[in-house]
Amino acid sequence: MISEAREIGADSLLAFCQEFESGYLGNWPPGDEVLAREFVSHFSLHRYPRLEDLMSFCSNLGIEASISTLPQELRGLNGCYGDKKAIVICEEERFPGTKEHTLFHELREILEYTFRDLGFPTETGGQMELRAERFAAQVRLTIGEVAWMAMFEGARTAEPKWLRWGAFLFIFLFAFGNAASCTLLPYFEDMASRSNH
């Protein structure tokens, strides 16, 4: 679910990039892990958003997001033309979370266009795909951390004590599995794509 606490409009992406750039100008370019955490915090992305929520979020940012059939080697694509921005996600999903990951990947590339327009590119070495993958994974991890911490807080008061420790163990295993899923998803996608060629 995406929090409605912050008013989001078509100029919100530009405002975020300007704010981020001014906050990290002395340490430019920052890593994508930092960018992802600031992005999640700035836009109050909490809990695990459904794809429909993310597509609505993009729409509120002035980005047309859609799902379509794409060539097998493409999971998503994006484009900026004039004031219009668009993201297309492949309708095929080999693994759970692929579409959400891909949307954040494509969103990171759109962020880069905005940074370039401002005169502050974060990527100049031909590593944009890798950076977008890291950003997408870190956004999903950061959103997960918020959920895990809320679960830990709830489990702290569980009684009897064995139930509390059981809840902690369950949350730990869930968090570990989710973190591995977020981090390894691009690897699994690449392996599946190679096996189909």
Query: For 162-187, how does the pLDDT look when each residue is reduced to its tens digit (9 = 90+)?
Result: 776 777 676 666 666 666 665 655 66
The residues of the chain scoring below 70 in pLDDT are 1-7, 9-10, 95, 148-149, 152, 155, 164, 168, 170-197
pLDDT for 3: 41
The token duo for 79 is 């484009």
Task: Give the start-end residues of each E strand in the chain.
Answer: 63-68, 76-81, 84-90
The ranges assigned to domains in the chain are 12-195
pLDDT for 58: 93
Cα separation of 126 and 142, whole Å?
26
pLDDT for 176: 63
| Secondary-structure breakdown of the chain: helix, strand, coil percentages, each rounded to the nearest 5 | 60, 10, 30
Backbone angles phi, psi at 131, to 5 degrees: -65, -40
Letter for the amino acid at 106?
E
Looking at the whole model, is its pTM more than 0.75?
yes
